[in-house]
Amino acid sequence: MSAAPTPAFLYPVMLDLTGRPCLIVGGGAVAERKVEGLLAVGARVTVVSPWLSDGLLASASEGRLHWTPRGYHSGDVAGFSLVMVATNDASLNLDVAREARERGVWVNCADDPARCDFTLPSVLRRGSLTVSVSTGGVSPALARVVREELEGLLPPDYADLAAIVAEVRRSLRARDAAPAWDAWRDALGPDVRELIASGRTDEARAQLLKALGA
C-alpha cells in the first residue's frame, strides 16, 4: 500500500474576523453554509451571485449581508480579507482563486484543496470552547465523523465549564496568581465536571478556586 499524501494544510489558526470584509462567490447551499459561519463570528459578508438560495435571500433582505446580484467580475476580490468560492463552474472557480492569490487575498475554493490557501475544519462549539477537526482537505467526511464522535464526549454543559474556567482565570490573574498547567489539569477533574453536569455551577466554581489555591 502506498503512503498517503502529506496534507498541505498543517498550520491551525483561529481567526478574529469581527468586522472584516469577506467575499463569497456563489449563491447556493454551499455558499449559504459558508456565509452562516462567517456571520456567526461577526464578519462583514458580501455575496456575488446572479441568484441566491432562500436562506441567503432572507439574510440579504434582513441586511445581514450585502448582495451584488450579478456574476463575478475581475477585480471583485479587491479590498477583502478573505474570499470563499462556491460555484459549480470550475473555470470561474479557477479564475477567482487565481486572482485572489495574485492580490494576496486568502482564498478557499469549495471541494478543491489545490486552489485553497486554507480549508475549513469540521467544528464543534461548546460556548467559548471550540474543537476543530481537519484532515487537511483529504477527507471532509472523516473529519465530520470524528467531530460527531467528539460531540458525545463533550456534552453541552462544557459551555458552562468553559465560562466558569474563564471566570476563575480572571479572578486568579487579578491576584497575580498563575497556576501551572498540571495544577489546572488536576483541578479540572471529574468532581468539577460532575458538579457542572448537575447544574451546581456555584459549587463547581468554589471547588475549582480551592483546588487552585485561591
- Taking only the tens of pLDDT, the chain with its 214 residues reads 455 555 578 888 999 999 999 999 999 999 999 999 999 999 999 999 999 999 999 999 999 999 999 999 999 999 999 999 999 999 999 999 999 999 999 999 988 888 899 988 999 999 999 999 998 878 889 999 999 999 999 999 999 999 999 999 999 999 898 999 999 999 999 999 999 999 999 999 999 999 998 6
Where are the strands (E) in the chain, listed by range?
A: 21-25, 44-48, 66-68, 82-85, 106-109, 122-126, 129-133
Contact between 124 and 101 (Cβ < 8 Å): no
Q: 79 and 113 in one domain?
A: yes
Q: 97 and 31 in one domain?
A: yes
User: 140-158: buried (b, 16+ CB within 10 Å) or exposed (e) per residue?
Assistant: beebeebbeeeeeeeeebb
pLDDT of 6 reads 59
Classify residue 138: in a domain, yes or no: yes
pLDDT of 32 reads 97
Classify residue 15: in a domain, yes or no: no
pLDDT of 2 reads 53
Q: 190 and 130 in one domain?
A: no
pLDDT of 140 reads 86
pLDDT of 124 reads 94
Domain of 162? Answer: 158-211
Of 120, 136, 168, which marks where a domain is finished? Answer: 120
Classify residue 186: in a domain, yes or no: yes
Q: 80 and 108 in one domain?
A: yes
Q: 27 and 106 in one domain?
A: yes
- Collapsing DSSP to helix, strand or coil, 129 comes out as strand
Q: 179 and 143 in one domain?
A: no
Q: 49 and 35 in one domain?
A: yes
* pTM check: above 0.85: no
Classify residue 8: in a domain, yes or no: no
| Dihedral, 111, 114, 116, 119 alpha carbons, nearest 10 | 60
- What is the domain count for the chain? 3
Classify residue 13: in a domain, yes or no: no
Contact between 131 and 149 (Cβ < 8 Å): no
pLDDT of 65 reads 98
Q: 180 and 126 in one domain?
A: no
Query: CA-to-CA distance for 114 and 48, rounded, in angstroms?
Result: 22
Q: 113 and 36 in one domain?
A: yes
pLDDT of 110 reads 84
C-alpha cell at 30: 454551499
pLDDT of 9 reads 81
pLDDT of 7 reads 58
C-alpha 74 chain-centroid distance: 28
